[in-house]
Structure 1
Amino acid sequence: MKMCKDDAGASIAAALLAHYDAHARDLPWRISPAARQAGAVPDPYRVWLSEVMLQQTTVAAVTGYFERFTSRWPTVEALAAAADEEVLAAWAGLGYYARARNLIACARSVASDHAGRFPDSEAGLRALPGVGDYTAAAVAAIAFDRPAAVVDANVERVVARLFAIETPLPAARAEIRARTAQITPQERPGDFAQAMMDLGATLCTVRNPSCLLCPLASYCMARAAGIAESLPAKPPKKPRPQRNGTAFWIEQDGQVLLVQRPGKGMLGGMRALPDDGWSARRNGDAVPPVTGQWLTIDAAVSHIFTHFSLELALALYRGPQIDKVVIENLNGIWWPVEQIAEAGLPTLFAKAASAAIQHR
């Protein structure tokens, strides 16, 4: 069998694929090794969708979302035809909302510019909206069996340990990618990519790696040197800045005012409660969206974003009926309070709404 670029790489790939054949995880977007070897072909749409969802998110968190998305939008054409607000609402709670906006743009490009077919090469995939190096490599390998170096956080950890790469991240990434390419086989590269991901997720874990069970233990330079758990090396984390803001609950006749956030920026395009303009760079100004009587309740909501932490105070409106023109100027809509769970609020505002309902 034609494999990697050298004998050591071929041995590593063979050992890992044998382990994968026996222990592959059963995931809703994956075709099993046996089915694949029997001729089953992955659906590029499902592969792409899962890879977008899995970026910076766990398999456990993604599984339910993936099944709901593919049930509601079973093809890329169906997703492309969906309204933005419907997709964003379905994504709510999964986080990193720029991914959802990129998902919509990419689906529409595939549907309109590629007749509903994903390009089958890394270069072609990389040209799609929102598709970066990792996603292009993953879809090329898994969906089309192209020999691409697929490096996510799990693979990064496996390769750093396998070759005892002590250079701290992110500087080590070029070497890690080169080493991954070195051991990626020409045959079954899609299964190999998934096998590497499984190894990092189940055995070569961040803490307490299960080296005795690892099919690559005899090849692992970090294990031989007794430094496996310390790799990959990372620079000290910078403390997250603390930001403060206010969310505003305006309820009338059993309905709450929601607004559509701007398309770009934090939580872009999502439905949300009105707020006071907080961002990653500054605190909110505490100025309510309408004048009137407000009650600030003792129920602040805390939320951690990638680059900052937020404490969101809550203020409840106690004034008279609000004019329709004011609502239009806020780009607002009235939503039934009893159906707030169906509004597709991002996690931060879902927590704020829950707290407001308890105190209203």
Structure 2
Amino acid sequence: MFFELSAEQQALRQKVIDFCARECPPDFETSLDQSGAFPGDLYRKMADYGLLGISFPAEYGGTGGDIMDIVLIAEQLAGNSFTAVYMYLVNVVFAGSIILNCGSDAQKKEYLPKLLKGELQFSFALTEPEAGSDARSIKTSAKLQGDRFLINGTKYWTSGATVSDYIITVTITGPQTDSSKAMSIFIVPAGSQGLSITPIPKLAGNAYPSCEVKYRDVSVGREHILGGPEWLNNGLLQLFRTAEYERICVAASCLGGAETILRECTAFAKNRQQFGKPIIKFQAIQHALADMATQIEAMRWMTYHAAWMKSAGKDCFKEICMAKLFCSETLNDIARKGMQIFGGRGYSMEYRMQRYLRESYLSLYAGGTSEIQKNVIARFL
């Protein structure tokens, strides 16, 4: 087996590292965490730098990359900016990939070129107040009235809704006796009459708001059905086709975050003096850092292996869920270890470690909870 990144992949990784050093260094994310202000120009900068189009075909303005390229981008963005990586994932992976893989030709031509240029932003609305892990229990409905559908319901944790141009919305369009045969996905203009969007205060990441979205007789045409009218009541199949992308990219973002924590803990331990010597000279600190480094290598190769399998066209849902489960749980463990290494200073808002801890919790839920990943993995055993 060959474990080396190709020359092109190494160049891409360095390109993202250079972008982050210039546009979203560590203090940049600290300022966003403190202010909660959305960095409107960062998304356009990612587009201008070519990051949004890496994984899309040339006909839409992309460069024809694969899932491994997305993983490398997500890893490096996450190591620098929580806001940047989730802005990237929501638009490119959650929204962009579902339009690319499930949209009609007309929808791809309409939305993808503008997305890749940074001219459009999307959000994705699936979760509801009473429908989280159990996506089949959603209640938001789209009922046909004449030649239009009227959408009614409430979505929760819709990231980026306040700044998006379109909200990709999962609805029920048929009898609720079997929701798996009654789901439809609509591309809803965010400025539609009857939409109300309210940010939800969060533990971290408020610069890229997660929102409650209420639909009150929001009117959309058949042309807004993802994939076209022929995909009415087949939305669940479309969700299944994109779930793998979301989970592998959450794993990659966990890897990037963990790498940053280890780097900062090592630097701190080399400089922090106690009992007349740097604390890295103490075996307890050495072992903690060694554990973190070992865990990160396991995260890296589980993630890269799953991405390689996906890019090679192999069945890999089990491996992707394993990577997502392990990486999210391990990131949280590493963040707690980081707090211990920093001691009382980790508890101070002057240091970034407390932010890393707060940010790490989202990975336990994004892309499906740990319990859902275990359920999926167990089916393959």
The TM-score range, normalised by the shorter chain, is: under 0.3
TM-score, length basis structure 1: 0.26
Which of the two has higher C-alpha Rg?
Answer: 1
Could you tell me the TM-score, scaled by structure 2's length? 0.25
